[in-house]
Amino acid sequence: MSAVAAAKALLEADTTLMATATGGIWDFDETGRLGLSRTLTPAAFDEHGRIKPCVVLKGRSCVPFGIADGQYVTTRQMLEVWFYEDAGYGNIKTMRQRVYALLHEVQLAGTFVCRWANSLRGPRDTDLGANVERSEYAVIGKQGG
């Protein structure tokens, strides 16, 4: 199981997060390279076409990091967690804090640890007409063996 799939399963299983993320938890396989859209991910939008509070997960490339002993190489993959909301940042803040509680210092399936790395706050997605924030988590795993 990939780190993105493991994180998605963990987040979707949390009823507290899902009570706020009424537009769902999505990953790159579901959204494609253009992200959320009213045609590919209609459940992320209300009946008026406004985006509901939701989360999108994207994993960057896995890179060597740290220990290499000939059999194993430790790896790091940055997991991007994007938070969307039509207006305001109240739901984004709630979702961001809950995701932190669920992912920071947690061992996802097939990894050693997942740690919060940084956040970007306050941009606006003009294509969707939505407020958006991003948190990044460093997922430490291994390759080989």
Give per-residue pLDDT as tens, 66-88.
777 777 889 999 999 999 999 99
pLDDT computed for residue 55 by the predictor: 98
pLDDT computed for residue 20 by the predictor: 98
CB 113 within 8 A of CB 140: yes
Q: What CATH number does residue 8 fall under?
A: 3.30.2000.10
Q: Which domain holds residue 31?
A: 3-144
What's the total number of domains in the chain? 1
Query: Whole-angstrom Cα distance, residue 95 to residue 69?
Result: 39
Full-model pTM: 0.93
Task: State which residues of the chain have pLDDT below 70.
Answer: 1, 145
pLDDT computed for residue 86 by the predictor: 94
Q: What is the DSSP letter of 19?
A: H
